[in-house]
Structure 1
Amino acid sequence: MSELAFPIAALALTFFVLIPAMSLISWALLKYKRARTEHWVDFGDNATLAWLLAPTLLPLAWLGSSALHQGEPARALEACLIEHSVLLATCLEALVILAALTLSTLGVAGLKALQTHPRNLGDGLPEDDLRVQKLLKIVAADPLLNAFPIKVICQAPAAVFTHGWWRPRFYVDACFVADNDAEILHAALLHELSHARARDPLRVFAARICLMLNPLSRLLEADFERWRNAREGSCDAEAVRLGGDPLSLAQGIVRAARFRCLDINTYGISMLCGHDATLLRLRVAILMEGARMPRRTFGHLALGSALVVAVIVPHIFDTDALQYFHHAVERLFLGAA
C-alpha cells in the first residue's frame, strides 16, 4: 500500500483542506457581495458563478497538472525519496495514479450528475401540425430565433425550456402553444434565447458537479440558488431588450408556472416557469415596473485565466509544492515502518 499512500494523502489534502479553505473564502466574498449588491438581478453575473466554481476547479486543476508534471520521466527521480519496491520501481507510477484518481473523481461526479440529466424528451410534432405552424410563424418573424432549433412536444416537463450544452434547443409544450397568443410565445422564446446565449444549461451543470465534489457545498448552495434566481431576472430583462413585450412575458411566466415543472435540481435545463412562487411574484413585479438590465462582469474570463495558470504554471516555473508534500508523506511512511 506504500504506492497509494501519496496519492490518497494528496487527494485528502485537496478535498479536506484546500477546497474547504477556498470555499470559506468564496462564501465570505459572496456574503460581502450580497450586502453590496444594489439589485438582486446583479447577483446573477459571471463573477458570482466564478466564485461558486473556483473553490473546486482551481485546486483540482493544479493537483492534476502538478502530478503530471512531477510524473514526467525527467523529474520522476527528483520527486522520489524512497524506493517503491513492492509494486512500483519509481515514484512515476504513484504520480500517474494521483493524476488518474483526480480525473476519475471528476468523471464519477459527472456520471452521477448525468443520471438525472433528461435524455429522451420525445419527438417533436410534425411540421404540418397547426401548433407547430403557429410557432414557426413567430420564429420566422424574428431573425434572432432562427439560429436555434425549436421543438413542440406533448407532455413536456415544463411549458417552455432550453435543453443542451453545446447546441441548445428550445422545447415548447403543445398545450402551452395552443393556449397562448403570439406575443406571449414570442416573449417566452426570447427569455429562453437569453438562457441559450449565456450557456446557462452548461453552467448550471458545471456548478452542480463542483458543489457535488465540495465537502463544504452547503455553504455555497444558497448562493448558487440565488444566482439561478437572479439569472431568471436577467433573462427577463434581456428578453425585453431583444423586443419582447413585458406584459406578455409576465403573463407567460404566470401561465408557465401552472404547468408541470421540473425539479429545481434537474441538470441541463433552463425554464421559463422559475423555481418558486416568491420568485415568480418578484419577476412579474419587476417587469411591470420596467425590467432592469443586469450589471455586466467578467468573472468567466477571470476564472478561465486562473484555470490556465493553475494548469500551466507547474510546467513552466517548476513549482515544487507537490514534490515537498510527496517527500513529507514518504518520511512519515518511513517513520511508521
Structure 2
Amino acid sequence: MSAADVAFWLAQAGAQVLAGALAWFVGGAAHRRLRISHAAFGYWLALWLLALAPSVAASVWHASGAAAPAWPLPSGLPLPRLDAFAADAAPAHAAEAVATQPVVDLAGALLALYLAGVACSLARWLRGGVALRGLLRAARDAGERLPGAHSRRELQALRARGVQVVLSREAATAFAVGWPRRRVVVPEALAAHLDDAQLALVLRHEAAHLRRLDPERDALMRLAQAALWFNPFLRMLAARVQLAAELRCDAAAIGADPGRRRPCAQAYLATLRLAAGRAAPAGASAFARRRDPGQHQLRMQHMLHGDDRPRLRRGARLALLALALGGSAALAAAQAAGGGDPARIAAPVAAPTNHEDTGTASTKPAADVRRLASPQAAANAAPAPIALAVPLADTRITSRYGVSGGIRIRPHRGIDFAARRGTRVYAPAAALVVAATDRYPEGERYGKVVVLDHGDGWQTLYAHLQDFDVHEGQRIAAGAPIGSSGASGQATGPHLHMEVLHDGQRVDPEPLLR
C-alpha cells in the first residue's frame, strides 16, 4: 500500500465517521423536533444508509477506475539527465526514498489494525452463528404441544407458509430465523409459562419479522457493520432500526383488536424475565433482545397505549428517499471529482508540426481539448518561453504543482490529470524521446515512464503509464501518441502524472499549457 492509498482510505474513514455522526445527531434532532414515530422504520433505515454512503461511493469509484480520484504521490523525483539511462547508478536521492518509508510502514500498521478489527467482529458473529446452529439442532418440533386453540391456529398458519415452529430448552427468548430454513424458535419455559392467547401473540410477532425479511436485513446490516467496525454511529443507528422493526411487529401482532394489548404486554414482561442476563443468538430476530431499559419502556407503552406520534406520510417518505439518494449521488460525485476544480476551459489542440528528422507522423485528432486553468496560476505566470499542448483530450487537472500538506512530505512537483485507463497520451511539442521505460532510475513508484526532450533545456516526464508507443532516441512531432494512461507503479487509480524541467529545475507545467 502506497502513501497515496493511505491518504485515500484515511479520508474515506474520516468521511464515514463524519457521515455517521451527522446522520445520528441531525436525524435524531429532526426525529425529536418533528415528533416522528419511533416505529418509522424507513426513517431510521434511510439514516443508516446515508451513514453508509461514503464507504459505498468510495469503494465503487475506486474499484471502477472511471474518473477515479488520482491521489498523487507525496513527492516527485528529479527528471533524469540525458545519460541517466545509460548505466545503473547508485541512488543519488536515497534520502528522499527514506523519507517516504515511514508512510509505507504506517500504511501496513493501519491495514493490520483494520483487518484485526474486522476479524474480531466476524469472529463474534461466527461464534454466535455456531451457538445458534447448535441450538437449532437440539430444538424439537412444536407438534401439538402448544397450550390451546389460538396458538395452534398461528402454528398452522406458519406451517402453511413453510415456517417450522420449534421448542428449545436453551433459548432465552423467542426469535425468528430466516436462513437456511425459516423457523420460529420458542423457549420451552416460555411456552409453559404463557397462556394460549399470549403465546399466539408471540408467534404472530415472529411471523411479522419473517414476512418483512427482518432476519435477512439484520444479517446484511451486521456484515456492513463488521466491515466498518470503527464507526460507532453506524451501530447506534442500527439499534434504532431494530427498535423500529420490533415496534412495527408488536403492532402487527396486536392488529386492530385492543383486547390484545394487555396480553401482549404480559407476554413481553414474561419474556424479559426469562431472558434476563442472557443475549439472543446472533442473526436471530428476537421478541425481546435489547437490554436498554428505555427501549423496553417504550415498547411497553406502545403495546398498552399505541403510538401517540404520527407516521410519516407518503410524501414525506418519498422526500426522505430522494434525500438519501441525492446524498449518495453527491458523495459519489465528490469521489469522482478527486479534489479537482469542476470548471473547465476549452482550448484548441495545437496543430501537428514537423520536427527536424521527425520519424513519426502525428496521429492526434484535431478536436477540442479541455483543461482546468487556475486563475491564480494564470495571474502569476511569466510569459511562457515554450508552448506545450495539453497531453490528453478532454483533460481535467486533479492536483496542481506545488500543493503541499496532508501526507505530502514535499510540495507536489508536477500536475495530475484524471484519465481512464488506456487513454491516449500525446506529445505536447516536437521532441526527442530520451526515456521510455518501466525502470525509472530511483523511482519505481512512477511505474512506466516516458521522458521527452524539447530542446533549449526543456524536458517533460509522464508517469504511471499503462504502456508506451515510442522508444529511446526516436524523434516525434507535436501531437504524436507516446503511450496510454494507467496506474502503473504506486497509484490508487488511473491518471497521468506530468512534470516539466527547465535547465535542471522543475517548473509549474500549467502556465505552459496551451
TM-score (normalised: structure 1): 0.68
How far has the Cα of 1:48 moved from its partner?
A: 1.5
What's the counterpart of residue 12 of structure 1?
Answer: 10
C-alpha contact 1:157 1:262 (8 A) present in aligned 2: no
2:305 corresponds to 1:289? yes
Residue 24 (structure 2) aligned to one of 27, 49, 55: 27
Paired amino acid for 1:164: G
Q: Which runs of 5+ in 1 are unaligned?
A: 84-100
SS of the residue 1:324 aligns to: strand
SS of the residue 1:259 aligns to: helix
Residue 146 (structure 1) aligned to one of 160, 179, 182: 160
Instruction: State the alpha-carbon separation in 1 of the partners of residues 284 and 200 from structure 2.
Output: 19
How far has the Cα of 1:12 moved from its partner?
A: 0.9
Instruction: State the alpha-carbon separation in 1 of the partners of residues 180 and 337 from structure 2.
Output: 35
How far has the Cα of 1:41 moved from its partner?
A: 2.5
2:77 corresponds to 1:63? no
What's the counterpart of residue 398 of structure 2?
Answer: 324
> Aligned residues, how many?
310
Paired amino acid for 1:151: V
Listed one character per residue, the Cα deviations across residues 235-290 of structure 1 (whole Å, up to 9, x for unaligned) are 21122227692222122111111213575686322222353455444433433334
C-alpha contact 2:174 2:286 (8 A) present in aligned 1: yes
Paired amino acid for 2:167: I
What's the counterpart of residue 257 of structure 1?
Answer: 272
Residue 111 (structure 1) aligned to one of 122, 129, 145: 122
Q: Which has the higher helix share?
A: 1
C-alpha contact 1:157 1:261 (8 A) present in aligned 2: no
Instruction: State the alpha-carbon separation in 2 of the partners of residues 145 and 248 from structure 1.
Output: 24
Listed one character per residue, the Cα deviations across residues 183-223 of structure 1 (whole Å, up to 9, x for unaligned) are 21221111122223333334444444555526451x56555
C-alpha contact 1:161 1:170 (8 A) present in aligned 2: yes
Q: Which moved more, 1:299-308 or 1:174-183?
A: 299-308
C-alpha contact 1:23 1:216 (8 A) present in aligned 2: yes
Mapping 1:17-166, distance limit 5 Å: 17-38=14-35, 41-42=38-39, 44-55=40-51, 57-70=52-65, 108=119, 111-112=122-123, 114-119=125-130, 120=133, 121-123=135-137, 124-126=139-141, 130-131=145-146, 137-139=152-154, 142=157, 146-147=160-161, 149-164=163-178
What's the counterpart of residue 196 of structure 2?
Answer: 182
How far has the Cα of 1:126 moved from its partner?
A: 4.3
What's the counterpart of residue 87 of structure 1?
Answer: none
C-alpha contact 1:184 1:252 (8 A) present in aligned 2: yes
2:249 corresponds to 1:235? yes
Give the structure with higher Rg (CA).
Answer: 2
Paired amino acid for 1:54: L
Pair 1:236–1:129, CA change in 2 (3 A): closer
How far has the Cα of 1:118 moved from its partner?
A: 2.8
C-alpha contact 2:173 2:288 (8 A) present in aligned 1: yes
C-alpha contact 1:159 1:272 (8 A) present in aligned 2: yes
Instruction: State the alpha-carbon separation in 1 of the partners of residues 289 and 34 from structure 2.
Output: 22
Give aligned-pair identity as a percent. Answer: 19
Pair 1:182–1:31, CA change in 2 (3 A): same
Instruction: State the alpha-carbon separation in 1 of the partners of residues 399 and 141 from structure 2.
Output: 62
SS of the residue 2:136 aligns to: coil
Q: Which runs of 5+ in 2 are unaligned?
A: 78-110, 341-396, 413-442, 444-514
- Of structures 1 and 2, the one scoring higher in RCO (CA 8 A, sep 6+) is 1
C-alpha contact 1:65 1:310 (8 A) present in aligned 2: no
SS of the residue 2:38 aligns to: helix
Paired amino acid for 2:303: L
SS of the residue 1:258 aligns to: helix
Instruction: State the alpha-carbon separation in 2 of the partners of residues 117 and 325 from structure 1.
Output: 47
C-alpha contact 1:52 1:207 (8 A) present in aligned 2: no
How far has the Cα of 1:157 moved from its partner?
A: 2.5
Instruction: State the alpha-carbon separation in 2 of the partners of residues 189 and 147 from structure 1.
Output: 13
What's the counterpart of residue 171 of structure 1?
Answer: 185
SS of the residue 1:33 aligns to: helix
Pair 1:314–1:300, CA change in 2 (3 A): same
Paired amino acid for 2:168: C
Instruction: State the alpha-carbon separation in 1 of the partners of residues 327 and 127 from structure 2.
Output: 27
Pair 1:41–1:312, CA change in 2 (3 A): closer
Pair 1:161–1:265, CA change in 2 (3 A): closer
How far has the Cα of 1:58 moved from its partner?
A: 1.4
Q: Which has the higher strand share?
A: 2
How far has the Cα of 1:130 moved from its partner?
A: 2.8
Listed one character per residue, the Cα deviations across residues 78-125 of structure 1 (whole Å, up to 9, x for unaligned) are 888879xxxxxxxxxxxxxxxxx8xx9697576345234333123331
Give the superposed CA RMSD: 4.8
Instruction: State the alpha-carbon separation in 1 of the partners of residues 331 and 237 from structure 2.
Output: 27
Paired amino acid for 2:300: V
Listed one character per residue, the Cα deviations across residues 42-65 of structure 1 (whole Å, up to 9, x for unaligned) are 4x422212213422x212222222
Paired amino acid for 2:129: P
